[in-house]
């Protein structure tokens, strides 16, 4: 009985976090559109096909995605990426927008 109550309590605590992540992902999608990321990237076949992001959430951690956004030249050097033109840094993106964008891109996983 006690174990069941503990499990239910734990699930109740996780539910708001899951809802928050969904809300943040929706906001991140809006940031993706506002920043015109589809000029260089595509998701689900929409945007520039040379830079697909469709499974990037399965390949990169949130921190790696964040680093690609704020310091793409350093990540390009670190990963020896060869895509032309190279991604530019978005170092001045608002922190809340950045975090929402990271959550959104992180949600792009294999189905």
The answer as to whether 65 is a domain residue is yes
- For residues 27 and 100, the answer to whether their CB atoms sit within 8 Å is yes
Q: 3-state class of 44 per DSSP?
A: coil
- C-alpha 105/C-alpha 34 separation (Å) is 14
- Greatest alpha-carbon span in the chain: 60
pLDDT for the residue 83: 83
pTM as predicted: 0.77
Q: Dump pLDDT digits (tens) for 6-56.
A: 544 444 545 454 544 557 899 999 999 999 999 999 999 999 999 999 999
Please check the confidence at residue 58 and state whether its pLDDT lies above 80: yes
**What CATH number has the domain bearing residue 61?**
1.10.760.10
First and final CA of the chain: distance in angstroms?
36
- C-alpha 1/C-alpha 24 separation (Å) is 35
- C-alpha 70/C-alpha 73 separation (Å) is 9
- C-alpha 107/C-alpha 100 separation (Å) is 11
The answer as to whether 1 is a domain residue is no
- Structural domains counted in the chain: 1
Region of 80 please: left (phi>0), alpha (psi -120 to 50) or beta.
left
The answer as to whether 9 is a domain residue is no
**Domain coverage including residue 80:** 21-106
């Amino acid at each position: 009985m006690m174990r069941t109550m503990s499990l239910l309590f734990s699930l109740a605590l996780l539910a708001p976090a899951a809802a928050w992540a969904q809300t943040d992902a929706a906001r991140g999608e809006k940031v993706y559109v506002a920043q015109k990321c589809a000029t260089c990237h595509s998701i689900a076949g929409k945007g520039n096909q040379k830079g697909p992001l469709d499974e990037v959430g399965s390949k990169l951690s949130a921190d790696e995605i964040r680093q690609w956004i704020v310091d793409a030249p350093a990540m390009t050097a670190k990963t020896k990426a060869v895509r032309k033109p190279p991604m530019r840094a978005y170092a001045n993106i608002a922190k809340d927008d950045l975090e929402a964008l990271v959550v959104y891109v992180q949600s792009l996983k294999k189905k």
